[in-house]
Structure 1
Amino acid sequence: MIAGRAGVDGPRVPSSRMRAADLLPTGTLGLRARRPRALLSALGIAIGIAAIVAVLGVTRSSQAALLEQIDRLGTNLLTVANGKDLGGAETMLPADATRMIRRVEGVTGVAPTAQLLGRNVYRTDRVPSGQTGGLALRACDAALPATLDGHIRQGRFLDAATGAYPVAVLGYEAARTLGITRVDAQTRIWAGGHWFTVAGILDPLTLAPEIDRSALIGFPVAARLLGYEGQPTRLYVRAAQDQVDAVAGLLGATANPAGPETVAVTRPSDALTARVAVAESSAVLFLGLGAIALLVGGIGIGNIMVISVLERRGEIGLRRALGAAPRHVAGQFLTESLTLAAFGGAGGVALGCAVTLALARARGWTVLIPVEALWGGVAVAIVVGALAGLYPALRAARLSPTDALRTA
């Protein structure tokens, strides 16, 4: 649109104006004329934004799942296990360690276990002795499920009666390794050179993976058939939530007063907490990769815009000859770059959300995508588009009408 402008010493001099409503149609003219190239240019931005959104969404969803798991399982479970002396040799817990720990103020439950070394678990007595499958045979008592907050998937757990007979309960992974999917009177395993009837299968125990890969028998039968002498190798201790640190500080000296430094006291939930920190560290790495992809996409847009300026010199020259001001030409090409980036950013946000949703559903997580990632992804894409299109836009604005028409 041409409007009059009063001169200082003469008649009104025509000036050029462009309405804001005309800027978008004019700025997207090149995109509509070259759609495949525009889509490929926007794809570079979309990939970078999708990577960033997906990393933030997957990290937040996995962290929420881990924190929910920690809250559900509790952070008040402690383990007391055999440690090592100054010479590096493994030490044994005293036989009365369980009784002593039960007296500690703040302890709400203790479940002793003993790994029976050299006693392996097999599906039948025909399996070669070297093929152990990494399974262990452990003795325990009826307090184990309550202390670990464990649940029976099939059958029943050991009690005072069955613990005195060749009856076993399998951890979840042990049952899978042995190929046992159901429990009945004919289901047996070969353990420590004796047949044991399988009475039950446990659900997975996140805080006690060693139990998952074990066959559990009672202390009385372990002493009668397998030579167990009464010394536990690992005790699971539940403490009152507000006294966990105090109880942890007392367990070593209580379990073995003669050598508290040889007792290993740990909190299994710390491993889950560490996984949250590892996920955050990994997210920083992947965010860096996403930023690199976004930078490459921005460079691609800048390259396409420079080529577009060169291809459309005739159009630029004609518009300038008809009265378009340099700022109008710059606005046209800057709008084109911003439009490319905005579409790429929106597509990247949608793609990142889809990846997060698919992975979260596959892992059973609650889908959590930070709101900042949604609007921030589009905003970052627009900023990248503005930076990428600034130089081509200024270059187009500096072309004079005569030079542009002569070289077109």
Structure 2
Amino acid sequence: MASPEVSKLESIYADVLRRNPGEDEFHQAVREVFDSIVPVVARRPEFVEACVVTRVCEPERQIIFRVPWADDRGRVHINRGFRVEFNSALGPFKGGLRFHPSVYLGTIKFLGFEQIFKNALTGMPIGGGKGGSDFDPKGRSDAEVMRFCQSFMTELYRHIGEYTDVPAGDIGVGGREIGYLFGQYKRITNRYESGVLTGKGLTWGGSQVRPEATGYGATFFAQRMLQTRGDSLEGKRVVVSGSGNVATYAVEKVHQLGGTVVACSDSAGYVVDEAGIDLELLKQIKQVQRGRMSEYADKRGRARFVAGGSVWDVPCDVAMPSATQNELHAHDAATLIGNGCLAVVEGANMPTTPEATKAFLESGVLFAPGKAANAGGVATSALEMQQNASRDSWTFEHTEQRLAEIMNAIHDRCAETAEEYGAPGNYVVGANIAGFVKVADAMLALGLI
């Protein structure tokens, strides 16, 4: 028979399903948190009695708008824009913008929900939100991307601000897109409000380490996690999925810490390079040329490209899923476990399915959930906001040191919370409870909001 706490949470979850039909990723994110916070509800019944659990699942504001733009041939296109301002109990809404054809309201709500607790774990005064569009920047000219971004910001600008909501980049939104978005915001508002967007260029308000932060941060977390078992990344064989910003800088930091990344991927397949991924070639192909991983193999004679398939078939000591949600399935987990994988560290948001996560936890593989392990990006965005507010600019070394300190503190907070609630070594439980309690306490203090 279910405990009273489980029954209460199941009732709330049933209501979430009823009120948010068809939003599978959002349902999955809520389910994961609810599975972790049962002992919290038993210890702190006021979180249910004051409807904090219910309220944290309901965004404060959901904005959906059309984005008309013209391509280089003058043809008009219509995309859909989103901004979900989920929770501002700890500070202004903070979270990235994702431009990808798969984006719909459920994607943005799952990302925004995760962002609430991720931001809480950083210890920085920032709330959770997310946004984006089903626009695909791949194959578009700079002029087309600019026109889209200007149209997108023409609606979004009225909903954001450095004390209200501070977007950043995500999949499909890098320095180019942030530049066009910020330029349009400045043009419309007639204000140089640097703190309204993060991920800016270094010459116009950006922060050192921001491009590297998510990949570096996940690697710092991996190192700290391995240290709890008297180990490190030194000499480890690592596989990183994806080849975007997060993956690229995870590769860089793993190599700096003595490991070797032997494989990474894109949507067409994966590359295996036993000598270690050539970072400069990867950056040239993916960041400069916006090319494909197959081109990496063409230019790097000793590497091989495998079309389709799973990058998780490549044996490794550490796996870092850094591409997109639900990319690592139960059969992939079985393969990794069978090959002796020691640790899985999520560089992307919720890239591991619930079944795969369960398999890792039950087998004793160290598992770091994204809301903890990939929090380095938003943490450094908050550092960028600090620099903007004080009209200051920090060195790369100082900013990287701050990032390392934040990631180590997140790790320790998750580990200590898991221990406190009877789940030692379970970073999923630790991250969910630590993030939830911080937000829930703030919501109680602020009254019925």
**TM-score scaled by structure 2?**
0.20
| Greater Rg over alpha carbons, structure | 1
Greater length-normalized contact order (CA 8 Å, ≥ 6 residues apart): 1
